[in-house]
Amino acid sequence: MADIPAFTPVHLLTGFLGSGKTTLLKRLLADPALADTAVLINEFGEVGLDHHLVERIDDTMVLLQSGCVCCTVRGELADALKDLHSKRDLGLVPPFTRVVIESTGLADPFPVLSTLKSDPVLRHHFRAGSVVTTVDAVNGLRQLETYVESNRQVAIADRIVVTKTDLSATGTSALLSRLAELNPDASTHIASDEGPDAETLLAEDHRGAKLQSVSGFYCDAPATLQTAEGVAHTTAISSFVITVQDPIDWTGFGVWLTMLLNCHGERVLRVKGILHLAGEERPVAVHGVQHLVHPPVHLEAWPSSDRSSRLVFIVDGLDTNLLKRSFSAFALPGQAQGRLPQEAAVGVQNA
C-alpha cells in the first residue's frame, strides 16, 4: 500500500489550445510512474482512455490498467478534489499519492492553484506541486505575441514541454530563446514518443538547491520581451532582477512580500530568489507563483564568494521602480532613516 503523504501534491498540466496537452497526458497515463496518481481531466473521451480502462468506479471515475484513477471535472474543481480525498479515505479508490490536473487551453492557470489555498478543507490535505506547460513549436511564437494567457502559462511553469517540433518548418531555436527570456529557470524538454517521462516532469527538485546556477542563480539576466519584428510586446509581461549587496531583514522582507502579493498577486506571475539574510550564514531560497509562496529553503552553502541577494520577478504591468523603493523601505536596514535605494546598493534591471 502506498504511503499517503500528509499533504498530497497537486501538479498542473497546462498549455494553450492545440499545444499537445492531451497527447502528452495520454502518453503519460501509460507510464508506470503514474500508478499511484489521480488524474483530473475535462472529459474521458478527449483523452481516449478506452484501451486503458480497467474498471468504472462511478460515472465520473475510472481505474486504468496502469493503476491511475481518472476523474472528469464536473462543476467545481474543489468539489472534485474533496470527492477524491473522501473516496481514498473510505477505500473506494486506490491510495493515490499525487494528483495531476489538465487545465483548459484558454485558462489562466493560477485559479487552479489558488483553489488549494483558498479552500479551508483542501489546504489541510493538498499542496501545490509542479506546473508543466506545453508549447506548440508550430504556433507557439505567434501565440506568445498575441495571447496573454499563453504568456502566463509559460511564466508560471516549472517545466516546459515543446511539442510538434517535427512539424515546424523553421525549427525551434527562436521559440526556445523566447521561452528562456520569459521564464529563464524553467527546464525545457522536447516532446517525443519516448519522453519526457512522468518522473522527469513531476519531480519536485526544481526548488531548493537547484535554484542555483554556477554563477549563483538561474535568472542572471533580465528578459527582453519583443515580438519577432523587434517591436514592443503586445502584453505587459516583463521580468526584472533586484540585486542587493546589503543583508536583508527577514521580517521586513516577509511583510513586504505578503503585502505585495495581497495587493498585486495576480500580476506577480513568479518571484524567485536567493537571499542573504541578516544574521544568517547560509543563503535562503524563496519561490512564489502569484499569491502562492512556497516554504523558504535553507541552502547548504553559497555557490561562490558573492553574497549578493538576487530576486527575479516576472510581472504583468507593474512599475519596477515602485517595487524597488518599497522593497528597500521594508527589507533593508536603515531605510526608515531615509536612505535611498541607490545608497543601499539595490540594483534593478528592467526588461
pLDDT tens digits for range 86-133? 999 999 888 899 999 988 765 666 777 778 778 888 989 998 888 899
CATH of region 225-331, choose from 3.20.20.10, 3.20.190.10, 3.40.50.1360, 3.30.1220.10: 3.30.1220.10
Vertex 153, ends 149 and 154: CA angle to 5°?
Answer: 120
Cell 536583508 belongs to residue: 248
Contact 54, 63 (CB under 8 A): yes
Q: What is the pLDDT of residues 231-253, one digit of tens each?
A: 555 556 677 788 888 899 999 99
Mean pLDDT of 193-219: 60
Q: Is the pLDDT of residue 217 over 90?
A: no
Provide CB contacts within 8 A for 310, sequence distance 6+: 216, 217, 219, 220, 241, 242, 243, 244, 273, 274
Q: What is the pLDDT of residue 207?
A: 45
Q: How far is CA 183 from CA 155, 161, 164, 224, 238, in A?
A: 5, 13, 20, 11, 10
pLDDT at 63 over 60: yes
Residue 233: per-residue pLDDT: 52
Whole-model pTM over 0.85? no
3-class DSSP assignment, residue 203 = coil
d(CA 134, CA 159): 9
Q: Residue ranges per domain, the chain?
A: 8-202, 225-331
Q: Can you name the CATH fold of 8-202?
A: Rossmann fold (3.40.50)
Alpha helices in 73-185 (DSSP H): 77-90, 110-118, 140-146, 148-155, 173-182
Q: Which of 26-35, 124-133, 207-216, 260-269 has the lowest mean pLDDT?
A: 207-216
Over residues 148-189, the pLDDT tens digits come to 788 888 888 889 999 988 887 777 888 998 888 788 778 899
